[in-house]
Chains A and B, each alone.
Chain A
Amino acid sequence: MNSQASVSNGHAPSVVNTSDAALSSMVSPEQNRYANILLVCSWAGIGIMAVTFILYMAGLFNPMVAPSQMPQYWGLSVHEYAKLTNAPSGWSWLTMVSHADYMNLVGLAFLGLVSVIGYITLFFNYSMKKDIPYAIMVGLEIIIILSAASGVFHVAG
C-alpha cells in the first residue's frame, strides 16, 4: 500500500503517514448510505422540477405570473418583484402551490432538503457508534440548514 509521504517542515518532527493496516479504500457504511440517499433524492428532485416546469411553460395550472409576462418582471430587484407581483416570502408559497409557477418551487425546495435527509441518517449512525464529535457536528448542521429553510433569517426589503 502506498503512503502519502510527509516531509520535515523544520519545526515539527516529520511524520510519514504509514501504510496503516486499518485504512483501506473501502467506503464506510455511513458514507455509502449517505451517498445513496443523495443519489436517489437528487434524481427525484430533478424529475419533479422537469415535470412542473413543462406544466408551467405549457401555461397549465393557472400561474400567478404567466411565463409570457415574466420579461416585464425579471429585470426588477427581488424586493420590487415581490411588491409588484404580491409574491409571497418564506414558506407562504406553499399556500399557492396549485399555481404552476409556485408548483415549480416544490422540486427546488426538495433539492434544498436532500442534504438534511442524508444528515439525519448520519446523525443516527454516529450516535449509535458513539462518535460524539461527529454526531454533534451533524446535529448542528441540521439545525443550521433547517433554520435557514425556516425563514428565521429575514432580509429587510
Chain B
Amino acid sequence: MIGQFFAHTSSIFASTSLAVANAASTPGMPWWVWPLALMVTTFFIGIVSALAGIGGSTLFVPIISSFFPFNFDFIRGTGLFVALACSLSAGPKLLKANMASLRLVIPLALLASSSSIAGAYLGLALPQNILKILLGVLITGIALVFVVSKNSEIPKIGRPDSLARYLNIGGAYYESSSGQDINWTVWRLPQGLLLFCVIGVIAGMFGIGAGWANVPVLNLLLGAPLKIAVGTSMSLLAITDTSAAWIYLNQGAVLAIITIPSVLGIMLGSRVGVRLLNITKPKSIRYIVILMLLFAGLKSLLDGLGWG
C-alpha cells in the first residue's frame, strides 16, 4: 500500500513536471496556469520535503528553475521566503518541545545570517549561467551527501570545548521511544561556527535553505543528538534566511505572483507530509529525494553550460 502511494505520488509529480515543461514551450498559455501549476508543484515538493526532513527550498530552487519560465533571480528570492516560511511554520513547535536549542541557535545564526548577506550580494551580482553551473554542482553534491552521510541518533562526543562551556550550550529533551530525558551538549563549536559562515554564503547565494548542511554539521561535527540537530537547524533557518531574503526583497527580486503561491503550496504540502510521516518508509523517501536532486542538479548544470 505504501509502495503504491509512493508510486502514485511520484507519477503525479512527474506528470505535473512534464505538463509544466510542455506548457513552458507553449506560447499563448493562459497566465493563471503558472501560479496554479506553481502551487501544485510546491505542494508536492512540500510533501516530499517534510517526509525527507529537508528544507523545501533545497528542492524548490533546482526544480522550479528547471521547469518554470521564471528568471533565476526571482526563483532564488522566492526560495529564501519558502525556507523562511517553512522554518517559521515548524520552528515554534520544535522550540516549545525543547527539540531545538535557542542557546545553540543564537551564536550559529549570528555568523550564518551575516555571511548570507554576502552570499545574496554574490548571487545577485554573478552571471546566471555561472550561478546555474555552481548550483548544479552543489545540488549534485548534496545528493551525494545524502547517499554517503550516516547521521548518528545520539553521537558520542569528547570534552566540550571552552567556548561551548562558556556559552553554556546544552540541555535535555524527552525521548519518546525510550520514555527518558536525554542530556546533551556539543563540542568543536569554533569549527562549527566557521562552517556555518560557509553555509550562510551558500544559502544567500542560491536562495536555498541550508538544512541539508546544517543537520550534518550539528550532528556529526558538533555532536548534537539527531533530533536536536534537526530541530535546531529548522529554527536557525528563520534567522539565517531572513537577512538574505531582505537583500532580495530590497532589490525587487521577489514577485508576489511567484512567491506567494510557492509559500502557500509548500506550507500546505509540508503539513500533509508531516501527517504521512507515520505511514511512510524513510528509505524510499530518501531514494526519491536523491533521484530528484540528481536530476535537478544535472539539469541545472547542463542549463548553465548551455547544453540544456
Residues of A within 8 A of B (CB): 1-9, 11-15, 17-20, 23-28, 30-32, 34-36, 38-39, 41-42, 45-46, 49-50, 52-53, 56-57, 67-71, 74-78, 81-82, 87-91, 101, 104-105, 107-109, 111-112, 114-116, 119, 122, 133-134, 137-138, 140-141, 144-145, 148-149, 151, 153-156
A3 proximity list for chain B (CB < 8 A): 182-183
Contact (Cβ within 8 A) B113 A78: no
Give A41 to B89 CA distance when docked, in angstroms: 10
Contact (Cβ within 8 A) A104 B260: yes
What is the CB-to-nearest-CB distance from B68 to chain A, in angstroms, rounded to a whole number?
9
* Known contacts A6-B156, A14-B159: A81-B183 contact under CB 8 Å: no
What is the CB-to-nearest-CB distance from A46 to chain B, in angstroms, rounded to a whole number?
7
Q: Mark B159-186, 1 if CB is under 8 A from A, else 0.
A: 1100000110011111100101111110
Give A74 to B182 CA distance when docked, in angstroms: 50
What is the CB-to-nearest-CB distance from A97 to chain B, in angstroms, rounded to a whole number?
12
* Known contacts A101-B256, A141-B113: A12-B182 contact under CB 8 Å: no
What is the CB-to-nearest-CB distance from B255 to chain A, in angstroms, rounded to a whole number?
6
Q: Considering only CB atoms, which chain B residue lies closest to A71 in the complex?
A: B31
Pick from A25, A32, A74, A87: contact of B257, CB under 8 Å: A74
* Known contacts A4-B182, A17-B170: A78-B124 contact under CB 8 Å: yes
Pick from B73, B170, B260: contact of A23, CB under 8 Å: B170
24 A–B contact pairs at CB < 8 A?
A: A13-B159, A14-B158, A17-B170, A25-B181, A27-B97, A46-B85, A49-B264, A53-B260, A68-B31, A71-B31, A71-B34, A74-B71, A74-B255, A105-B254, A108-B81, A112-B249, A115-B242, A133-B166, A137-B110, A144-B243, A145-B113, A148-B242, A149-B250, A153-B247
User: Is B225 an interface residue when CB atoms closer than 8 A count as contact?
Assistant: yes
Residues of B within 8 A of A (CB): 29, 31-32, 34-35, 69-71, 73-74, 77, 81, 84-85, 88-89, 91-93, 95-98, 101-103, 106-107, 109-110, 113-114, 117, 120-121, 124-125, 128, 154-160, 166-167, 170-175, 178, 180-185, 223, 225, 238-239, 242-247, 249-261, 263-264, 267
Question: Given A2-B183, A42-B89, A148-B117, list of 13 further CB < 8 A pairs?
Answer: A1-B183, A6-B157, A30-B102, A31-B95, A39-B93, A46-B267, A53-B256, A71-B31, A107-B260, A111-B85, A116-B242, A148-B250, A155-B247
Q: Considering only CB atoms, which chain A residue lies closest to B178 in the complex?
A: A2
B180 proximity list for chain A (CB < 8 A): 1-2
Contact (Cβ within 8 A) B117 A153: yes
Give A18 to B86 CA distance when docked, in angstroms: 35
